[in-house]
Amino acid sequence: MISYSDFDNVDIRVGKVIKVEDFPEARKPAYKLAIDFGPEIGIKKSSAQIVANYTKEDLLNTFVLGVVNFSPKQIGPFISETLTVGVEDAAGNVVLVRPDKDAVIGAKLF
């Protein structure tokens, strides 16, 4: 078990996807995302294995949740700066956890 303070150390924020690119170098099908987390956090890059459930057009300008205080992670030639949050669907593919359109960019999950 973890304590509440452990959970409180994970900084999950609302972001808006502002750019989506294919990521052909990834081992598993993925997109490269640029996500705007507002003026406090700024724009962060993420590699997301969500190709099975989303097109690039589906993702552009949508809100997502991302962990913004993990260390950057090298994924092939790309450095991912945030973990975009999702859950598994019945087929084992990722479904994004997405806030309502009324959420505020940069708002913290608590």
Q: Confidence band (pLDDT; 50, 70, 90) for 101?
A: confident
pLDDT exceeds cutoff 90 at 110: no
What local confidence, expressed as pLDDT, does residue 22 receive?
97
Over range 81-101, report the average pLDDT.
Answer: 95
* Assigned fold of 4-96: OB fold (Dihydrolipoamide Acetyltransferase, E2P) (2.40.50)
Q: How far apart are CA 101 and CA 44, in angstroms?
A: 20
Which helix (H) or strand (E) covers residue 71, if one does?
A: none
Instruction: Please tell me the pTM assigned to this model.
Output: 0.94
What local confidence, expressed as pLDDT, does residue 44 receive?
98
DSSP string, 26-65: SSS--EEEEEE--TTT-EEEEEE--TTT--HHHHTT-EEE
pLDDT exceeds cutoff 90 at 60: yes
Show me where the domains of the chain are located: 4-96
pLDDT exceeds cutoff 90 at 100: no
What is the rounded average pLDDT for all residues in the chain?
Answer: 96
Over range 9-25, report the average pLDDT.
Answer: 97
Over range 27-51, report the average pLDDT.
Answer: 97
